[in-house]
Every structure is written in C-alpha cells, then in structure tokens.
Copies of this chain bind each other. A is one copy, B any other.
C-alpha cells in the first residue's frame, strides 16, 4: 500500500493547480462558484431545483452536475431554469478540477453570474479535491442521523456553509439536533448554517438571500479589480 501515498499526493497537487485556473476563470468574470457536497440522497439536486427559479429573477445561473451515471440531475437543473452541464465520472467517487474545467468549456461563462457545482454523492472523497469554487457547502439531511459530523470529520471541517435539509422529517426520525450541533461545533465552530426543507420550502428564502448577497459581493469585487 505504500505506493499509494505519493500517487495521491501527486494527483491532489496537480488538482490544486487546475483548481486555481478554474478559480481565475470565474474571478475574471465576477462569477460566484459554489461546490455543493453531500451523501447520496441528502437533497443536493432538490435544493438546486428549489433555489434556481428564485435566484434566476436577478442572476444568470449555471449548474455543473457530477454523477457516476445518468444525466437526470442536469435535466432537473435545466428544468429549474439553469444552464446545466452533466459530468459523468464513470467510476470516480468525486469531482476533480479537470472535470470542472472541461465542463466550464461548455458553459457560456460571459453570460453567468453564479455557478453551482453539484459534486458526486459521497461524504468522504470530495473533501480532498478542490474545484476552484469559492464556497464549499455541505448538505446534511435529518434522516442520515445525528452522528455524521463525528464519523465524517474531514468533510464537516472543510466547508464554509452547512445546510441541514429535510427538517420536515424531524418528527418521524431519531435525530438529536443538539448532539449534531455539538459535533459540528467541535470541527467547524460558527459555520454558517441554514435549516431547510425542500418539501415545505422552510428556510429557503434565507438561503436564497445569502447566495444573492454573496454573488453581489463577488460581482462588486470583480468590478473593482
């Protein structure tokens, strides 16, 4: 197994370089880039479906969807009003900067204000691979259980925003939100947190307001530089 470490290091170093190039492409145009990560089925695509129509009122939204297989998610993002590109990773359990770079080639970057990247559903490896986005967002979902920060510390540590999804299911499952919060705080104290439900729409306005403000700040920064 000793051969693996240098290979992985070489891969992540090359990845970081490509991520910087992706970031530069976004920054030169004042585009805000978000990288949404989560377990399979935590609701990443549902959140995108919910916020894109609201954001599209004043932002031009591009979405890059990462999946092992199918173009279901890109179709859902496009139906919600985004310009969407699907990446199929084949066997790879995470997106890498190179994949995002190729997807950026297919997007009309000069006509976008916001880029949402939906990573492959996986609570482990996406944390290792920078994509060039500005904010890493983790979606935790209530039925996954309150132990996930403890069991997946790297993912919880590396994000700027945490979305707790499916709060409408709180009455039906065992989920001690105080235990969950203690785990999060030990890893990432003060992380910006939204509690939402795609089913009821709860919390979505606050999330949309935050994305809109971040995008405005990014655009203002681009104008000044």
Interface residues, chain A, with chain B CB atoms under 8 Å away: 1, 3-4, 7, 10-11, 39-41, 67-70, 72, 91, 93, 98, 120-125, 128, 141, 143-145, 147-148, 150-154, 166, 168-169, 172-174, 199
Contact = CB atoms under 8 A, between A and B. Distances in A.
Contacts of A123: 40, 121-122
Given A151-B67, A169-B169, A93 B72 contact: no
A164 to B, nearest CB: 13
A57 B58 CA distance: 64
Nearest to A141: B143
Contacts of A172: 168-169, 172, 199
Nearest to A145: B41
13 contacts: A40-B123, A40-B152, A41-B144, A69-B150, A70-B150, A91-B128, A93-B93, A93-B124, A166-B173, A168-B172, A172-B172, A172-B199, A173-B199
B70 A147 contact: yes
Contact of A93 (B7, B125, B151): B125
A154 B39 contact: no
A154 B122 contact: no
B1 A68 contact: no
A74 to B, nearest CB: 12
Given A69-B153, A153-B68, A143 B41 contact: yes
Contacts of A7: 3-4, 7
A148 B40 contact: yes
A5 to B, nearest CB: 11
A68 B144 CA distance: 16
A37 B151 CA distance: 16
Contacts of A199: 172-174
Contact of A147 (B72, B141, B151, B174): B72
A151 to B, nearest CB: 5
